[in-house]
Amino acid sequence: MTEIEGLVAEFAENVAAQTDSIWRGDAKTGNKHAKRYIAAFEKLTAHGDAGRDALTVLLTHPRMDVRVSAAAYLLRYRTSEARAILEEAAKGEGLVPFEASLVLKNWESGTWALDPAEDAAGQPDAPSPASPTKRSRPRTEGTAPNKRRASKRDKPGG
């Protein structure tokens, strides 16, 4: 077995193990398996398109969760094949069809980013920094020192 084939097997095994863990209610173990299949995918993409091509064998895997996960990661690279698998899976009910429908929704809205395209220099697109959320902004904006905040009692009739 080559290194790439081993990584494909690792991806499939850990996707299946994560799903099984979720069904048992064991999120901690499920997260451990998720980290492993994500790491396997990253190692596959380090091999470029050869790694992505190797992952396409999982598009016909007997387990729907493995097919859907492979399709989710291959959506940019093998769009028509991956979409067909995701659309078929999304017709069902349950966790895996729900996952498939979310992947399609994110793809259509332009927020999907599991395997971003490379820029002209061959480097992956750099992720843009997240804008600060309301919670992460400092409270200093809009407040003046030594000034009491208004309350309902300050309003007429309040």
Render pLDDT for 125-137 as a digit per residue (tens, 0 to 9).
Answer: 444 444 444 444 4
Question: Position of tokens 């997260």?
Answer: 31
Domain locations along the chain: 3-109
pTM for the full model? 0.73
3-109: CATH homologous superfamily? Phosphatidylinositol 3-kinase, accessory domain (PIK) (1.25.40.70)
Q: What is the mean pLDDT of the chain?
A: 83
Work out the number of other CB atoms within 10 angstroms of the CB of residue 26.
14
CA distance readout (Å), 126 to 73, 76, 130: 18, 17, 12
Q: Which backbone phi and psi does 9 adopt, to 5 degrees?
A: -65, -40
Predicted pLDDT at 120: 33
Render pLDDT for 70-91 as a digit per residue (tens, 0 to 9).
Answer: 999 999 999 999 999 999 999 9
